[in-house]
A and B are shown apart, each in its own frame.
Chain A
Amino acid sequence: MSESTVRKSSAGQPAAVQPLLELRDLDTDIALRRGTVHALDGVSLEVMPGETLGVVGESGSGKTMTALSIMGLLPPGGRVSGGQILFEGRDLRSLPADEVRRTRGVRMGMVFQDPLTSLNPTMRIGVQVAEPLRVHERVGRAEARDRAIEILRRVGMPRPERIVDNYPHELSGGMRQRVAIAMALVCSPRLLIADEPTTALDVTTQRQILELIDDLREEFGMAVILVTHDLGVIAGRADRVAVMYAGRVVETAATEQLFRSPRHRYTEALLEALPESAIRESGAHARLYSIPGLPPDLSRPLTGCRFAPRCRHVTDECRTTDVTLSTGEHQHACLHPVPAAPAAPVTLPAPVRVEPAPEPAATTAKAGQPAATPVLSVRELVKNYAAHGGGLLRRTAGQVSAVAGVSFEVGPGETFGLVGESGCGKSTVGRLAVGLERPTAGQIMLDGVDIASLTGRERRRMHRQVQLMFQDSYAAMNPRMRVDAILAEPLEIQKVGDGTARRARIATLLDQVGLSRRVLERYPHEFSGGQLQRIGLARSLALQPRLIVGDEPVSALDVSIQAQVLNLMRDLQRELGLAYVFISHDLSVVDYMADRIGVMYLGKLVEVGPARDVVRAARHPYTQALIDAVPSITPNATAARDGVTIRGELPSAVNPPTGCRFRTRCPLAQEICETEPPLAGDGHQVACHFPLRPESSEASARAGAAA
């Protein structure tokens, strides 16, 4: 660490600046009911004044524990058992408790993931924001209020004089996160720790919040530790990055350097597992690289490199030698690092492709309009929910317009991606399509049959055609049923075969999703997220459906596990000729999976078209804004974008705007937008009076050929 003091910070500080915060060999243990988890093992990090350090890792890597150890907020049973936390040169572990409290309270600020649970619902915003001032600076009530208004204004809160008297539930998620940031900044800290500050937010809001943190960092001249699982968030914002795995820092380097030429094999694999990389690699939809297995159990003693059991380049040496971080600008803890890339050309990481999967034969044909009889055809679908007011008689206060006239078709073997932010009605469309709810109006045709016309037995048989895949498979499985009973249930309900035939079918299903027979005797709580998602997929496949509606099927998974599940879904599609409706808020995942994409905004489809056209040449301003807001791992890509930025919040679906529903936030909106634009176009349709670009001739040609 001796060269650390002379390192030039990438934020442009002169040499020989003392680090603001330095962790030296930090160990943190958490005592659980069974044994102790060694959450952090010799973590060394440093943060220069005014610098943004990104800490990235999958769940269980120790990134949050690092943040909590610095702030002294470890969960019950947790304690820092070794090492030093040097803040401005003084070790927080050896200072008197009172001084530590002041340092952490005044000199550091922390922003948590969920702005709803980190704010006290019974306190007014102003009182809450000014609480640190009242505690640490003992300022009076009136002054505290003034300073609360001032700080709220600086975090970009509209009408701060009014907001101070509001309660947290009266604000939206993005606004609440602004309040949380204001609270962290009110004492003008030197260091801001943001632990997944945008994970609970939509992408467009995420962008606003990240930009705010960036601006505030410069304005306050503070350092930021940005903890996240999202490599894209880090790539656009951080000066330096530390990659964590299983309680250790495995690689640290300047952001651009790390993304351009990662050295540690874990970092390399993680970058390859991103759908974004696969798309860029080959243009066509290649197979994702997926890291096999699961991270190690940190309650057991571990020797050697902790990534060794999952690494492609592992040797016996890796398993026995304890690898420490190398020294220098670009530190890594790997015995067989990726060869350093030549410095000059700024190319993207060019990892060895494992096996470019053969392109599905039908892709080009089905990229245009779907073939003759669509598996699923939705026409003018409307779903309204009654909004109840309070009170004894529960008078209906209005209607929530969840889905308002959505039409699309899904052809056999095709993947239709449905994207949009939370509350746009995409999940409702999915639930309507599988028959879990009945539409208020409109038509849903499965294989050319209107499901509203079905009764009794026919309706039950209809469920064989289409199955739902859930985001959280654990919640979608009865915790008291063993896996064999869970997989047999659809067969029992549909009265398929006898006991022997069902057992044989279940065995086939397990083979298809790549699980061993041993899982049959186990209960859902014994599995990890990726395994559960496999079991969930097996259950969806049991009835041999033609269509699977996946509602955020990989959103709860880590990148490496997500790649496993996405690959599996594609393999099965190829083998079984399945059609998917793939619902997700994550545009890069949908871009990777889908043949065609529909973009939803507030209950309406605003754009439908071939995936590549929608993502590369968006026609609706909302789609463009969505694309621009998605964080990318290409460094500086976020900054280079000139596209559409939208401000403000999603309007309420109780009284949606008339005409084009996006017009209240649209930079291009004019008077004519008060009339509703129709979804127009041949292959690449858009519902906008002022589309950003005309339909590409290629797309309309493809549409013509298919028709």
Chain B
Amino acid sequence: MTTLSEAVRPGAAPDQPADAAEAPVRGLWRQGLVVFCENRLALVGLGLFVLLAAVCFLGPLFYHTDQVHTDLTAVHLAPGEQGHPLGTDGVGYDQLGRLMLGGQTSIIVGLAAGILATALGTLWGAVAGFVGGWMDAAMMRVVDAMMSIPSLFLFMLLAAIVTPSVPMLILIIGAFAWLGPARLVRGEALTLRSREYVQAMRGMGGTGGRAVRRHIVPNAIGTVIVNATFQVADAILYVAYLSFLGLGVPPPAANWGGMLSDGLADTYSGHWWLLYPPGIAIILIVLAFNFIGDGLRDAFEVRLRRR
């Protein structure tokens, strides 16, 4: 009902078709951007992420602290004491500097693992969905089998065998987080494959390769990107879980989950500055990615339904 309305001149020839309206012509990406920007929360999420990333990666350039050597003369200093805005922890590291350092690990591992999981899952799911038949059945049974094992248990097992480091954490999380995207993309590929526009293309003599390139990938990319943002948020949480359980990167490296775990011991000592800042940081970054994901979903899907 809100589509083109046209001014038909009186007395026009009966078969004169309706002309397109005078509305400005805009590309799909541009329209998507507009929808994304209409979503306030998505913009807040984007701003929040940029802010947190800037603090973690650019902050240390302006705020120099020693995050390698312990200083047992300055442990458990309250915020503001001796020039430590957020105080110090149990071995004398500056809490604010440590938050920045820990944030770097969390963001790097989260982004890398999220992207790895999405890439792996997309590839796996897409092949299963396009090829179909026994190949699909076999590939999806692998996914089902892995999904039936509690992931936390697997993480712990793996982390106990290998020494956790940043690349290793990325691999471990990526290796198990791809199951969700694989299922999602396979379903998408299955439906896209049977769409009428793919059939129309086959009717023109087009090949399977063209179907994938021109029709299936462009239509599935939205789902994949949206899912990737949620994967990143999940991966950041996984890092936090693992570190909380003592399976994170070993000191002096830091990350927010590990800091939270350390801070837990101090709950009853009144050292709140060791507990709340990392906790709040984790909540904020996960929230930011979820908001961005929601906004992207609107941007990719809503504009096509406005018919």
Give the distance in Å from the alpha carbon of A490 to the alpha carbon of B20 in the complex: 24
Give the distance in Å from the alpha carbon of A516 to the alpha carbon of B3 in the complex: 17
Asked if B5 CB lies within 8 Å of chain A CBs, one says yes
| Residue of B with least CB distance to A434 | B203
| Residue of A with least CB distance to B203 | A468
The digit string for B263-307, where 1 denotes a CB below 8 A from any CB of A, is 000000000000000000000000000000000000000001111
The digit string for B6-34, where 1 denotes a CB below 8 A from any CB of A, is 11101111111111100001001000000
Q: Say which residue of A314, A468, A472, A523 sits within 8 Å of B28 (CB atoms).
A: A523
Asked if A464 CB lies within 8 Å of chain B CBs, one says yes
Asked if A297 CB lies within 8 Å of chain B CBs, one says yes
Asked if A521 CB lies within 8 Å of chain B CBs, one says yes
Give the distance in Å from the alpha carbon of A60 to the alpha carbon of B195 in the complex: 27
Is the pair A470, B200 in contact by a Cβ cutoff of 8 Å?
Answer: yes
Q: Say which residue of B18, B205, B206 sits within 8 Å of A464 (CB atoms).
A: B205
Question: Min CB distance, A162 to chain B, in Å?
Answer: 37
Asked if B210 CB lies within 8 Å of chain A CBs, one says yes
Is the pair A459, B205 in contact by a Cβ cutoff of 8 Å?
Answer: yes
Is the pair A490, B10 in contact by a Cβ cutoff of 8 Å?
Answer: no
Is the pair B200, A480 in contact by a Cβ cutoff of 8 Å?
Answer: no
Give the distance in Å from the alpha carbon of A539 to the alpha carbon of B1 in the complex: 25
Is the pair B205, A293 in contact by a Cβ cutoff of 8 Å?
Answer: no
Is the pair A310, B3 in contact by a Cβ cutoff of 8 Å?
Answer: no
Question: Min CB distance, A568 to chain B, in Å?
Answer: 7
Give the residues in chain B near A298, CB-CB below 8 Å. Answer: 1
Asked if A650 CB lies within 8 Å of chain B CBs, one says no
| Residue of B with least CB distance to A309 | B8
Give the distance in Å from the alpha carbon of A472 to the alpha carbon of B197 in the complex: 10
Asked if A544 CB lies within 8 Å of chain B CBs, one says no
| Residue of B with least CB distance to A37 | B1
Give the distance in Å from the alpha carbon of A104 to the alpha carbon of B203 in the complex: 51
Q: Say which residue of B3, B10, B19, B197 sits within 8 Å of A526 (CB atoms).
A: B3
Give the residues in chain A near B18, CB-CB below 8 Å. Answer: 292-294, 528, 530-531
Give the residues in chain A near B11, CB-CB below 8 Å. Answer: 312, 314
Give the residues in chain A near B199, CB-CB below 8 Å. Answer: 436, 468, 476
Give the distance in Å from the alpha carbon of A14 to the alpha carbon of B306 in the complex: 51
Interface of A is mostly: loop
Give the residues in chain B near A481, CB-CB below 8 Å. Answer: 214
Asked if A139 CB lies within 8 Å of chain B CBs, one says no
Query: With A290-B15, A525-B307 known to touch, is A296 a contact of B201 (CB < 8 Å)?
Result: no
Give the residues in chain A near B3, CB-CB below 8 Å. Answer: 525-528
Q: Say which residue of A297, A308, A463, A472 sits within 8 Å of B205 (CB atoms).
A: A463
Give the residues in chain B near A296, CB-CB below 8 Å. Answer: 5
The digit string for A463-484, where 1 denotes a CB below 8 A from any CB of B, is 1100110101011111111000
Q: Which of B1, B14, B199 has the most CB of A within 10 A?
A: B14
Q: Say which residue of B1, B196, B214 sits within 8 Å of A489 (CB atoms).
A: B214
Asked if B2 CB lies within 8 Å of chain A CBs, one says yes
Asked if A693 CB lies within 8 Å of chain B CBs, one says no
Give the residues in chain A near B28, CB-CB below 8 Å. Answer: 480, 523
Is the pair A309, B10 in contact by a Cβ cutoff of 8 Å?
Answer: yes
Is the pair B14, A494 in contact by a Cβ cutoff of 8 Å?
Answer: no
Chain B positions near chain A (C-beta within 8 angstroms): 1-8, 10-20, 25, 28, 195-197, 199-206, 210, 214-215, 218-219, 304-307
Beyond the given pairs A292-B16, A468-B199, 4 more chain A to chain B contacts, judged by CB atoms under 8 angstroms and listed by A's residue number, are: A293-B8, A519-B20, A527-B3, A564-B17
Q: What would 8 A/B residue contacts be, using CB atoms closer than 8 Å? A: A296-B5, A297-B2, A436-B203, A468-B203, A472-B196, A476-B200, A477-B197, A521-B25
